[in-house]
Chains A and B, each alone.
Chain A
Amino acid sequence: MNELHDKIAVTGLAAISSAGVGTDSLREALQDGNCRLQPMPEEILGEKGHFWGRAEGFKASDYMPPLKARKFDRCSLFAVVAAGMALKDAGIDPAQMDPSRIGILLGCGFGGIANSEEFLRGYFTKGADGLIPMLFPNTVPNAPASNASIEHGLKGPNVTMVQRFCSAESALLMACRFLEEGRADVMVTGGVDELNPLMMRGFKAAGQLRHYGRGFSEGSGMLVLEKSGYARQRGAAIRAEVGNIRTIGRLVKGAEDEGASRLLGVAADHSLLSLSGFASEFGMFLERAPSLPRLETDRILGCSLAMGGLSMAALVLSLLPGQRALHLAASPEGPYFAVDFNGGSSV
């Protein structure tokens, strides 16, 4: 069994990306289809021709006083702001709920890496005298979700996951399960990532720009989830419902067909295919999926390990009421996720 049974509703969305801040800018980018990546400054890699998707439209000072913003790393800033936007979009004021019933579960690829670099540079430059203690707490990948939980008072389940280009889908699976089990009434989920010059130099050194050189990006895509019954009870608009979630860790040599069958399940009447991570490069999955209109968010916004958050937010924004879609996420070496979404409507 590789499926989820209880209906889980998406009732709120948030997006911070190279297209701008907010779901309107994401919707606009999806409609015009123009790539939002920008040329990367030449001095970063010492060569021309690279593109990246920085969230240049994001200004922390638009959301909090500068002194407060200074205590967060960039990834945490995205998470704090996006979680607030998503909850507001869902019509949820955490202060009016039992805080232990609202949780947060994020995929995060390189959260904390910028603080780690700065902290270590201080040490390598000046020894122990160069260490800046306030940087250290935000070197952990769970800093974004934790900072968001602290800022918004979310005391429910709080987990951060990273699993290659399926980090956000990994978070979605756990968030849905927590709702199904009754561990929470509301879960904020999705992905968050940042991008900085050090990471680009690291990607280049590790050969990632050759292999995955479509343009790395940053930002956050978040979804507010709750059981459909709970959402209806509180009169929330249901933007979509999450259907079955199927996943395999990798394709086993000699049993690839079994893996693909387990991932894709039985054919359903999908009319839209969302591709995230490197799903567009997995011919054996695409052959099995029906020939459907494709939504490839990364071609517009760029890619990151937790890009599934933005991809799923984009998919929900694109769904018509009642429309069924398949979200397919893949990482080159695994894992792979297939998630059914059904378009919802206001109640």
Chain B
Amino acid sequence: MKKKKIAITGLGIFCAAGKNVASFTESLLSGKCAIGDVDLFPVSDFQAKIAAQVREYDPLDYFGRKNAAGLSRADQFGVIAAGEALKDSSALGHYSPYDIGVSLGAGAAGMLQAESWLRETMAGGKGRPTLLRGILPDRTATAISEIYNLGGYQGSITTACSSSATAIGWGADLIASGRLKAAVCGGTDALSLLTFAGFNSLRVVDVEPCAPFSLGRRGISLGEGSAFFVLEDEAEAKGRGARIYGYVLGYAAAGEAYHMTAPEPSGVEAARVMTGALRDANVPLTAVGWVNAHGTATPLNDVVETKAMKLVFGDRVREVPLVSTKALTGHCLGAAGAIEAMATVIALNAGIIPQTLNFRGADPECDLEYCHAGKIDTPAVVALSNSFAFGGNITSLVLGI
């Protein structure tokens, strides 16, 4: 039986680099770094004090007072981005609510609020119970389903930084397997003291905006936000006259079984998941125009991903730029895979390969084309998007237009 082709019919994003698709597209195309000061919690104790925080955000601009109080910051971002994607797709009303489901990738979820509860109880108080409402990462999927009246599958993937890439691949498969007619897939995450302090304690955060694949890079810049896609079977989408932005052509997810925080150093495992995704997509190597890297800007990750590229593309590797949009958006952890997939789809539609921002100098161990000098025009119709996580949970998505 011929595999269904899974079309992207709706886009939605809410992050520091743009609070909707139009503003995010403008940031992506103009190369406007969103990393800056943080005022969500005190950061003076930490060596690195910056992140890509969503600024000038008032939940009451998007939610009623009661709804806003019941949703964590991560939940709110997710509901907003999913809402934009659903509205863009016009899929609501076309299918039974039971045929539309949610596949979410999540990270720290409502930890920011839960931290306040812990602090309040440590100070001898009772702790406001509302602060715990969003502590579980699955709350966003439930909220999206309730608010947009969806009755189909609900699932939340929690594999740290690869969560939402896997959620998109899995969402596409839920349609391919016939379980859903439409899937709202993506991820959401919010900055929290836990992750800010955690990555600082591991000394993998740069004091300046992160500089992927550059000489002298010192690590990540954290970020927050959400991105969602609406996916449908291409034939159904065309049948209802939906706009098609592109396709989720395939994916692969694997475990490196190497180390909780360090990537397997030869790049062989990362290469395995990239080739696995291409095999799943039935896309030849020669069709891949560029790769949206995991590209965290840690000294180790960028070298390993460069090695993986060489293993995958061989002699052709210098013709396939490896770019990181994390210098634009920050590392959005549970939402990173979805936000980067969004950047990839927008860039494919615009016919460009995005710039990797914040270049500080050429690193001899990172000797590929990273588009440090600026975005470049491309006729490419297929790109990979990599997401590698704590625990060795690695995922690669194949996206096309």
Chain A residues within 8 Å of B, Cβ to Cβ: 1-2, 99-100, 103-104, 108-110, 116-117, 119-121, 123-125, 127-128, 131-133, 136-143, 145-147, 149-150, 152-164, 167, 170, 173-174, 177, 181, 183, 198, 201-202, 205-207, 247-253, 255, 258-259, 262, 305, 333-335
Q: Does A153 contact B153, Cβ atoms closer than 8 Å?
A: no
5 A–B contacts from the bound complex (CB under 8 Å): A2-B179, A100-B254, A128-B46, A150-B257, A159-B166
Tell me if B156 and A117 are in contact (CB < 8 A). Answer: no
Decide if A155 touches B255 in the complex (CB within 8 Å): yes
Tell whether B376 is near chain A: CB-to-CB under 8 Å. Answer: no
List residues of chain B with CB within 8 A of the CB of A119. Answer: 194, 197-198
**What is the CA–CA distance of A314 and B303 in the complex, to the nearest angstrom?**
47
B117 touches which one: A177, A205, A258 (CB < 8 A)? Answer: A205
Q: Smallest CB-CB separation from A143: which chain B residue?
A: B391
Q: Are A146 and B202 in contact (CB under 8 A)?
A: no
Query: Do the beta carbons of B155 and A155 come within 8 Å of each other?
Result: no
- Report Cα–Cα, A206/B127, bound state, in Å: 10
Q: Do A146 and B255 touch across chains, with their CB atoms under 8 A apart?
A: yes
> Which residues does B use to contact A, with CB under 8 Å?
45-46, 96-98, 101-102, 106, 111, 115, 117-119, 121-122, 126-127, 129, 132-133, 135-138, 141-142, 145-146, 149-160, 166, 170, 173, 177-179, 193-194, 197-202, 252-261, 269, 272, 389-393
Contact of A158 among B111, B127, B253 (CB under 8 A): B253
Contact B98 A255 (CB under 8 A): yes
Chain B proximity of A325: nearest CB distance (Å): 22
Q: A141-B137, A156-B254 are in contact. Are A252 and B97 (CB under 8 A)?
A: yes
- Please judge, given known A-B contacts A121-B122, A142-B389, A251-B151, whether A160 and B254 are in contact too, CB under 8 Å: no
Contact A202 B117 (CB under 8 A): yes
Given contacts A124-B122, A150-B258, A159-B159, contact A249 B153 (CB under 8 A): yes
Q: A259 vs B153: C-alpha distance in the bound complex, in angstroms?
A: 11
Determine how close the nearest CB of chain A comes to the CB of B172; give it in whole angstroms: 12
Query: Known contacts A155-B254, A335-B154; is A150 also within 8 Å of B260 by CB?
Result: yes
Chain B residues lying within 8 Å of A154, measured Cβ to Cβ, are 255, 257
**Given known A-B contacts A142-B158, A205-B127, A248 and B98 have beta carbons under 8 A apart:** yes
CA distance A330 to B126 in the complex (A): 31
Whether A248 pairs with B152 at a CB distance below 8 angstroms is yes
Bound state CA distance, A163 and B142, in angstroms?
Answer: 9
Q: Count chain A CB atoms within 10 A of each CB in B45, B200, B255, B393 and give the residue with the most.
A: B255
